[in-house]
Structure 1
């Protein structure tokens, strides 16, 4: 029998569809949303200033040269496994129908050289890596940057104090490009369609990266049969599975150890393919150096026309895995990734492709096995390879253009140049890849579509549920009325009530008290908030506010996490929470009385008198918390269920009643995330009609 206590209090209500609000953030019941008044002194921040704050955009001390070189070495073992193994199949995929003209080899080599230079080197290494989110990269990092500079999110959880987190970087240049950025910002904030497109683009980019990770292991380990033709296909599959199992087993040791383990292997690989490239270049045809002239690209398209365009689907394989340069930068540093790319990966790849082109100039008929046949002495190495799609690179470019205009205030001519040069190259490659849609190109897109559907369903219903709670939150007058009822018993102990509502007291509290007229001596309303930044320092994670009436000992706490933060801290969550609460109650406010503003009315209230009186209040509050702790901690989890409102259409019923609730049943529960003991947990249930 489970020791978990479950209290189910049902409530049916209605909520207006937030999407019907003329592309604006929904404004429930005409109330002024809390985030609209936060610039006044109403926020949690005023009473949280006992925590030291770093300046905006503080990066801390720069790593030493030795550290950077170590990180550059490690990055070789983590980032370049995909792009580094592209020479295995690029020429074979490009010339799938054989080589029809010997100079076509020069045209393809020229395409490879300039593609490697424009996309991985210029775009990612020297442009995109400047758009990291406090050192973290990826599609979601770009979206989080945009979310911080413009209110493009769908849920009104913005708070003034969030901008003071030490890595919440908002350095705005002051020049004549600000007007253009302001116009774009205004458009993004006032257009529901633009917000939706941004969200969907981010979901698509994230889904494609996940899909690539799932599809990559499906690529067979090639080259083994070249070394030993006695091996059957089943044996090769078995070897592949064994390699994958080993890879997943060692991942738990962390990026640091995995990087050091694989870096020597990948370094040997790059030295291997680069050295063989030099050997083939000297032995077969040093004249392929002519491919540096882009004229051979034009000649290639003139000779082959549509076939040349189709062959771009093979050329683009030369830059598979490029997104890892940005997505994985959070494990290293921008400078270390630039060093490893410019000094090892880029030169080795150029030499490898150039050497293969030299070999093919003399052996056109061996194009299907270019890599293996061009290796002298039959030396083979087994590696992990995979194929990514060019979608993520194109989406990254689209988001980067927004960042150039909105955040960097880049000169418009440079923005146009970027779009015309790099953007057009990626679109051409994208069109070539889409041409092969029916030949299997649909599979990664279908996989990404499923992931996007899951993300969108969750986001859409969660938003509706959040607005329901925002519509029905408890005012300070109602809270005082509830807490001072004559039939309400104040029990000895401390209660932590969890809610998804960041602004105000959740409606689930009133229903709990109405059905169980008992309240602990100290109550903390906790809401978990995800900030559009990668990490929140632990010392800046908790924000507290005493709710109106000090004698009630009721507090609100917002616990803030970044999107890469891990919530299972070394210390128990409730221990950290209470520790920070005592620091807040007992710390640095004797200089001025507290100023509190209610979320609903916006009225400013002052409490406390002189310094002596306030110090007495502090000591009394700390003592009340200590006494409550001796009575034990109880965790009250809000378990809100959602159902489609009566008369809702079939689409809405499927979306809420089946799709969302199916996902919710398979979601990791909050009590497991925070490791809450079942003996100290009470679940309070409500049902919302959306």
Structure 2
């Protein structure tokens, strides 16, 4: 299809802009072109808008899958936790060291993972979606603070909004809500904080495979002492490549392949732990007494505080429980953790501590040396498999968080593949899969040991937890209206513990701790630049949209030949005619007999049911054959292939035309009839009756108004049969000459680079090339 290129003409465009004049038709015509007043759902599609109840069988199936996907990371932490706590060996205070460290591990798991995440944070899900953006979207729906997405009043009629707002709309805004809404600084900080947490999750997705696989493979040196570290690293890299090649098969298939292996892993580490407790030191059970934490810090002082950076590794992967929630469900995750994961981890850590009581020199390879010799090699194989699976947890979480960022306009366009027909949250992102793989290889080969990777890992883990604690505190105050004393207890207990851990991991900044901050900085810059460019582009299109006076002045044929068929013109505007329309009709001598402006918008809710997804209205009089379709998605919604999307869209448009057109025309004339009549008279327009002649085409493809009288619905049906073409604007954004250096760099270099290296719009919308017409422009901002 042709690609029309050119630049917008600034001077002559003034009379076309929205601000120029909508004078003569201010109220009368806005009734016919106002999304807030006229747009309606297609009649008869309101049923089945809520998700089906998940059965017990499905919940148990998902709980089984969580063992393989969600808990692989936290389950493999026993491979390296004790070695990270005591990198220089156990001190002379052996009892205080081992009982204190074990007590810290027990209560860290219990407090952070069991209490905070399993029974509090999971409640903060956004209708089944978890992660940093899910928390942010909840805040945005209950307060006007969103800098990422803007929604119109009619969006609040969606069930995703109404289900939560029906109870809250009669309550006065809380002080936190008023503070956030009145302070642009607070809103900006909230966005930055959210993006920072997202970037840390991505960094976590890079470091988890590196440390998990390397810590498992390095255990081979316990038996094969002649192997060099370079060989260990090479084997680890090979395993990582194989892991990322498996991702394309999808979480559902991978989970069923991995879950039995991880289940065996948990049962084995739990059994070995119980064996070591009984054989070496049953007195290790004293670690359940929190007093020994005090003894640990008293004996080790500063080294005890530094050792917290190793203790925190026992909760690595905890954030995956929340971030991976869209792949599973809250009950499934809770069942998996409480029944299998938590008991097995407690037994494993207690068993290792019991073994170290009798063999303190084993620190450095504690896990493998504590394995009974008869089952060493089977356990080694299971450990390597479990480490590979552990990586899957954060890879899946990374895919989920990137999809949410993409939907809310904070990440360059990438391909999102939905890998399961049963569970819509299970996805695969090819570009990010290979990028993370390359980064994992660089980290594994570059550091070559688990100590420095662990230092970097700890910063990612605690930083994400601090973000989650902060956002959830806002939700508890503003949305849940939790008792203030409970909120203070939540913030003080979990916030102080996490800050203490964060101070410890930051101490190791020079020894690898800089890496996650580098990751976060790079991804934060990418997301910020992309969002800045997207916002500026949206502002330009809104400012330069065409006035309806100008469109109406062209007449129903717009000064060009109207050919049979339907044109779907994609635009970012939910209201008004995009400026690219004038460029299109200026450069092409023909236009389709039916033109539909399609605006695909994402809202800060997890999902929009199909019955509520589409809004329609006419653009101009009926004779113009122009419509607007607003297609609304949640950030957790799956995308259809273009053929299916086009079929559904046109089906709903036909329903709109046949069911709602007369009612809307009546509504447009009843209210303030005298004023509307005067305005319509002054503009020489009239409301067309249902049998009015509209744009029609003869056998030669030449179209004219009034050539044949037929109903609007029949004409639309015949136009669809003639073919559908997608019209897509290919806009190049450039900074104007009077722009500052910073703006010029952000737009002309940074944003331009990201656009050129991200997926094309047509690929993101799944539009086939043979049905595409591109209209190119250059916009100076």
TM-score by length of 2: 0.79
The aligned counterpart of 2:321 is: 325
Match of 2:196 in 1: 204
3-state SS of the aligned residue for 2:318?
A: coil
State how far apart, in whole Å, the 1-side matches of 2:251 and 2:40 are.
Answer: 39
Q: 1:343 aligns with which of 327, 339, 343?
A: 339
Would the aligned equivalents of 1:359 and 1:374 in 2 still touch at CA under 8 Å?
yes
Residue 657 (str. 1) matches residue 748 (str. 2): yes
Deviation at residue 563 of structure 1 after TM alignment: 1.9
Segment drifting more, 208-217 vs 92-101: 208-217
**Is the 2:197–2:467 contact (alpha carbons within 8 Å) kept by the matching residues of 1?**
yes
Shift of 1:201: 1.5
Aligned with 2:45 (options 37, 52, 61): 52
Separation in structure 1 between the aligned mates of residue 43 and residue 733 of structure 2, nearest angstrom: 39
> Where does residue 159 of structure 1 map in the other structure?
152
The 10-residue stretch of structure 1 (550-559 or 515-524) with the greater mean CA deviation from structure 2: 515-524
Paired residues in the alignment total 659
Worse-matched range after superposition: 336-345 or 4-13: 4-13
Deviations 1:3-51 (A, max 9, x none): x31112311659xxxxxxxxxxxx99999xx9xx99x984377422425
Alignment correspondent of 1:587: 659
Displacement of 1:170 after TM fit?
4.1
Single out whichever of 357-366 and 316-325 deviates more from structure 2. 357-366
**Which of these residues, 42, 50, 58, is aligned with residue 67 of structure 1?**
58
Distance in structure 1 (CA, Å) of the matches to 2:196 and 2:574: 28
| Other-structure match for 2:718 | 627
CA distance in 1, matches of 2:772, 2:329: 42
Paired position in structure 2 for 1:24: none
Q: Give the Å deviation of 1:83.
A: 0.5
Any idea what SS the aligned residue of 1:638 has? strand
Relative distance call for 1:504 and 1:236 in structure 2 (3 A) is: same
8 Å contact from structure 1 (residues 44, 543) kept in 2: no
Between 476-485 and 326-335, the greater mean CA deviation after superposition: 476-485
How far is 1:168 from its partner?
4.1
- TM superposition outliers: structure 1 runs of 4+ over 6 Å: 27-31, 603-607, 615-619
Alpha-carbon shift at residue 252 of structure 1 (Å): 2.6
Structure 1: state its 5+ residue gaps. 15-26, 598-602
Q: Which of the residues 448, 453, 475 maps onto 1:403? A: 475
User: What is aligned with 1:666?
Assistant: 757
Aligned partner (choices 72, 76, 81) of residue 85 of structure 1: 76
> CA contact under 8 A between 2:569 and 2:726: conserved in structure 1?
yes
> Shift of the alpha carbon at 1:588?
5.2
Cα distance in 2, alignment partners of residues 671 and 486 from structure 1? 27
Distance 1:649 1:613, change over 3 A: closer
Shift of 1:393: 0.9
- After the TM superposition, which of the residue ranges 455-464 and 561-570 deviates more from structure 2? 561-570
- Whether contact under 8 Å (1:120, 1:322) holds in the other structure is yes
1:96 matched to 2:93? The reply is no
Listed one character per residue, the Cα deviations across residues 125-152 of structure 1 (whole Å, up to 9, x for unaligned) are 0000001111011111111111211222
Q: Within 2, Cα distance between the matches of 1:131 and 1:115?
A: 21
Q: Is the 8 A contact 1:41 1:596 kept in 2?
A: no
Deviations 1:625-684 (A, max 9, x none): 122224322222111211112122211111111000111111211212233333432221
Corresponding position of 2:362: 366
Q: 1:12·1:689 contact (CA, 8 Å) conserved in 2?
A: no
**Offset, 1:423:** 1.1
Residue 572 and residue 483 in structure 1: after superposition, are their counterparts in 2 closer, same or farther (change >3 A)?
farther
Match of 1:109 in 2: 102
Instruction: Report how far residue 476 of structure 1 moved.
Output: 2.3
Work out whether residues 493 and 629 of structure 1, in 8 Å CA contact, stay in contact via their aligned partners in 2: yes
Kindly report the root-mean-square deviation, in angstroms, between the aligned alpha carbons of the 2 structures.
Answer: 3.1
Deviations 1:131-180 (A, max 9, x none): 1111011111111111211222236741233233344464248699954x
Residue from 126, 130, 139 that aligns with 1:146: 139
- Is 1:461–2:533 an aligned residue pair? yes
Q: 2:567 aligns with which of 492, 495, 508?
A: 495
State the SS of the aligned residue for 2:218: coil
Matches for 1:564-579 after TM superposition, within 5 Å: 564-569=636-641, 571-579=643-651
CA-CA distance at 1:237 after TM superposition: 3.5
Q: String of CA shifts for 1:482-519, please: whole Å, max 9, x gaps.
A: 34477333222211111122222111112222333533
Distance 1:558 1:270, change over 3 A: same
Structure 2 partner of 1:20: none
Number of the residue aligned with 1:264 = 260
Check conservation: 2:556, 2:623, Cα contact below 8 A: no
Is this contact kept in 2: 1:573–1:674, CA < 8 A? no
TM-score (structure 1 length as normaliser): 0.89
Can you list the C-alpha shifts for 1:434-493, whole angstroms capped at 9, x where unaligned? 111111111111011101100000111211121111112222222212344773332222
Indicate conservation of the 8 Å contact 1:134/1:169, yes or no.
no
What is the rounded CA distance, in whole Å, between the counterparts of 1:448 and 1:628 in structure 2? 51
Instruction: Answer whether contact 1:44 1:545 (CA < 8 A) is retained.
Output: no
Unaligned 5+ runs, structure 2: 12-17, 392-456, 670-674, 681-687, 695-709
Label 1:613 to 1:644 Cα distance change in 2 as closer, same or farther (>3 A).
closer
What CA distance in whole angstroms lies between the structure 2 residues aligned with 1:193 and 1:30? 35
Render the CA deviation track for 1:376-398: whole Å, top value 9, x for unaligned: 12343323256453111110111
Question: 341-350 or 303-312, which moves further after superposition?
Answer: 303-312
Change (3 A) 1:506 1:591: closer
CA 1:347–1:666 in 2, change beyond 3 Å: closer, same or farther? Answer: same
CA contact (8 A) 2:21 2:549 kept: no
Partner of 1:434: 506
Higher helix fraction: Structure 1 or Structure 2? 2
Partner of 2:8: 11
Cα pair distance change 1:238/1:331, threshold 3 Å:
same
